[in-house]
Amino acid sequence: MSSNIGAEARAAYSRYLEAGSLEEKIKCLGEFISLVPKHKGTEKIVALNKSRLAKLKREVEDRRQRQKTTQKVISPFSIKKEGIQVILISSYFTPGAGKTTVLNYLTGAAKAKIGKYTPLPEIGIYHYYKIRFQIVEMPAIMKGSSEGVGNGKEILSQIRSCDLICLCIDLSRNVDEQVNLLLNELSKADIRINRPLPPLSIQKTGSNKIQVLYLTDQAKKVDDIGEFTERIKEIVNANGVRNAVVKINGEISLDDVIDTLTPSVVYKKAIIIATKGDLPYTEDIFSELKHKYSDKFPLIIGTSVKRGNFPDFGELILRYLKKIKIYTMSSGGDVAEKPLVMEENSTVKDAAIKIHKSFYELFDHAIVIRESARQKRKKVGLDYVLIDNDIIEISTI
């Protein structure tokens, strides 16, 4: 162990080595990683121990899965998705950050509970062009939620499956403390915020040890490719993988390698909703919030529910999630009121499969009506790329 990590970090590592249970080892190793000074000289130590920590967490999760009984217990924090699921979270504080006020403003739900502590999820439905947005207000996130404090594990488990996380940040309090607590607990729960999937894959093999392949010019943009390769091999090996092929297709970090080796890691879109913008002196605080966190959160919404100052939520969220509305038309010319919600750059093929696979299997041609185009009505094939508000009629053989 290097001598430049500090006395506190060394003590935490000693506690990790002496720990008996997996849970205690996880706690001590996490403390050790947080205490190690982050610089070039400790990069290898941090990466290797993050990898060990991920392996320990997997062992605990595997044990929990084996211990589960056949009797299924439905948790009150497990919410079945309806439409696009948006979860509101905030850090724990009294009075709260105003999540219930936001929920009520958007959906009309939980009006009687505004200003009261929310121990269980509150749910409302927000409609936009017949699209259902399920808005879920979760109980506040506390320090230690990722370790189970305040039903934290159940809350974070539901967050892992939602479409969008909204961090409700109270402008009347210290915004840095709120943002940092939420990001820290989400990160500890293996929830990565506003980050793309790393451009790499790790495939286990039966032999040939660990091979690292840099498949693009961008992937090779590292200072010392030989040293970087060795560190990747050490991380993969520390995870218990002895033979594998690591394929890299772009710029990555050692943390990306660890995350790829950790099946529990999920990547989620998140925004900030800054609440209580009607209070004095919050305008400058909101500007500072945007300046400091806009690189991490491309969408930061300032709200003043009491003044009715709330943006067009549905349109903002669809645009942020990179989704488009596609309307179907019957052979008789009737256009459906409820649109299909598709990913940006979806094709006619994607729409046909979403309607029903038979429309793809028996596809002959499609008519796309696009009001903004010079040729408003166009006969197209399966590869035609759709845009927002297109109307499509599919003809089969």
The token duo for 155 is: 């809350």
- Domain ranges in the chain are 3-67, 84-194+269-320, 200-264, 323-396
Task: For domain 84-194+269-320, give the CATH superfamily.
Answer: P-loop containing nucleotide triphosphate hydrolases (3.40.50.300)
Q: CATH classification of 323-396, choosing from 3.40.50.720, 3.40.640.10, 3.10.20.30, 3.40.50.1110?
A: 3.10.20.30
pTM over 0.85: no
Nearest to 257 by CA among 5, 79, 57, 48: 48
In 71-215 the beta strands, taken as DSSP E runs, fall at 84-89, 122-128, 131-137, 164-170, 191-193, 200-204, 210-214
The predicted pLDDT at position 61 comes to: 78
CA atoms within 13 A on the CB side of 100: 17
CB neighbours of residue 222 within 10 Å? 15
Q: Digits of tens for pLDDT over the chain (397 positions)? A: 555 677 888 888 888 888 888 888 888 888 888 888 888 778 888 888 888 888 888 888 778 777 665 455 677 878 888 899 999 999 998 778 889 999 998 999 888 787 777 788 999 999 999 999 999 999 999 999 998 898 899 999 999 999 999 999 999 999 999 999 999 999 999 999 999 999 999 999 988 899 999 999 999 998 899 999 999 999 999 888 899 999 999 999 999 999 999 988 999 999 999 999 888 889 999 999 999 999 999 999 998 866 666 778 999 999 999 999 999 999 888 999 999 999 999 999 999 999 999 999 999 999 999 998 889 999 999 999 999 999 999 999 8
The predicted pLDDT at position 343 comes to: 96
> Reduced to 3 states, what is the DSSP secondary structure of residue 373?
coil
Q: Are strands 164-170 and 122-128 parallel, antiparallel or unpaired?
A: unpaired
Nearest to 256 by CA among 283, 219, 227: 219
Q: How far apart are alpha carbons 283 and 330 in whole angstroms?
A: 50
Amino acid at the residue 52: R
Phi, psi of 140 (to 5 degrees): -60, 145
Tens digits of residue pLDDT in 238-249: 888 899 999 999
Helices (H), the chain: 7-18, 22-35, 43-67, 99-107, 152-159, 175-188, 225-238, 254-260, 282-293, 313-320, 348-355, 357-361
Sheet containing strand 210-214, edge to edge, reads: 200-204, 244-248, 210-214
CATH code of the domain made up of 3-67: 1.20.58
Check if 84-194+269-320 and 323-396 are the same fold: no
Report yes or no: 29 and 18 within 8 Å, Cβ to Cβ. no
The predicted pLDDT at position 117 comes to: 79
